[in-house]
Amino acid sequence: MVGKKKIKASPLITSSFRKKVSSKYLRSNFVSAWLIRLLFLAFIIALCYLIFYETQFYKNPQSALIRVFFTEKTQFEIRFKNIRHPYWIRVPPEAPCSKPTKLLILVMSRRGAFVQRNSIRKTWANDALSGTVFRYLVGDPLKTAAKNITKLAEEQQKLDEEFETFGDLIFLNGIIDSYKNLHLKWYAALQWQQNFCAGAEFLMKTDDDTIVHLPRLDHWIEHKFRPALKKQLATYFGWIISGVKPIRQKGHRWYVSKSAYPHNWYPDYMQGATYMASSQAISAVMRHAHEVDGFNMDDVLFTGILAKLANVTLFSAGDHFRVGSSLGAKKKCVDGIPVAVALYGAENLAEFEEIYEKLNAIECPKNNVPK
């Protein structure tokens, strides 16, 4: 058997080949090393910018670092037929509704409404019964606020101090705090409820100028609202508004285009200063939100259009949830208990105290008291 002859490569060729391979390898390593350095430099620049940006809102740099590295946020998405809008919520450090929750009160507030929130805490919220959870909703600042970075920084500092003190703010990052975004803000509020407080039996929507007599409300929950759920679990309770047409005048505060809502009349809906809903009503409404166009008439949208679509009952409770700050002539009592539980229109502590006193001072005739 004849063996195959081994052909030896020329030393010159081998050396040349090795040099080429080595040169390519060195060039590759050189490029990789510089790429890693550039990426690291970009990371450092981005991190410095982020910390610098955060320190615009924090006088204490330590707080800025904590916010950058240790604040956990969860991304959500608002989903209407015509809107896809991402936003972020700070994850609550503790489960808000870890204990049995009878009533979750979500207050539609504003970034600068420090006086109103503190007035609520000092007056009617101070009389909350066990099983009641309060949260105040605030969004991002208007774009025009960036013109005065110092004022914006001071406002953000106050908000974070308020959050650290009371722990009852919900920051909706990605939703600008404006009247035209109320439907986005309330959608986010209900999404928060569904994710962090789904076990709440009742939800109350109210504004930061509203006064509610919570012990009296609890009486009517037990004697009127909860019994009503035996007929229909998915129910809204409040002042029903009927016979309202959409406003088609551009520039009007309540303008709604025909493309957003083509019909000539709104369905019945709840007056939005204060109303209540069962947890089943909220779940039903949120299941159908993606089927309708979103627009800034949040009360019409959630308690009218979506309620009708989701077969949610509107329970008339206008005597309980009053319009305005006056009781008027109707200081009704049933079985020795005043009917009115909510008024609105307060802007400062003195007004909150005055209106709350009106609710507290209602007297029922002795012959109206059950034996």
Q: Which residue is listed with tokens 């009247």?
A: 179
Residue pair 213/132 in contact (Cβ under 8 Å)? The answer is no
> Is residue 178 a part of any domain in this protein?
yes
> Is residue 13 a part of any domain in this protein?
no
> Is residue 49 a part of any domain in this protein?
no
> Is residue 334 a part of any domain in this protein?
yes
> Is residue 267 a part of any domain in this protein?
yes
> Is residue 14 a part of any domain in this protein?
no
Structural domains in the chain (count): 1
Residue pair 113/187 in contact (Cβ under 8 Å)? The answer is no
> Is residue 146 a part of any domain in this protein?
yes
Q: Which residue is listed with tokens 């009360």?
A: 299
**DSSP, residue by residue, 160-212:** HHHHHHH--EEEEEEEE-SGGGHHHHHHHHHHHHHHH-TT-SEEEEEETTEEE
Tokens of 132: 């009641």
- Helices 61-70 + 11-55 axis angle, to 10: 120
Domain that holds residue 336: 73-368
Q: What is the DSSP letter of 143?
A: G
Amino acid at 357: E
> Is residue 6 a part of any domain in this protein?
no
Amino acid at 237: F
Q: Residue 147: what pLDDT?
A: 76
Can you give the pLDDT of all 371 residues of the chain as single tens digits? 445 445 454 554 455 545 554 555 555 666 566 777 777 776 666 555 444 444 443 333 433 433 433 356 789 999 999 999 999 998 887 889 989 999 999 999 999 999 999 999 999 999 999 999 999 999 999 888 767 888 899 999 999 999 999 999 999 999 999 999 999 999 999 999 999 999 999 999 999 999 999 999 999 999 999 999 999 999 999 999 999 999 999 989 999 999 999 999 999 999 999 999 999 999 999 999 999 999 999 999 999 999 999 999 999 999 999 776 667 655 689 999 999 999 999 999 999 999 999 999 998 887 654 44
- DSSP element (H, E) containing 313: strand 313-316
CATH of the domain at 172: 3.90.550
Q: Note if the pTM is more than 0.85.
A: no
Residue pair 355/220 in contact (Cβ under 8 Å)? The answer is no
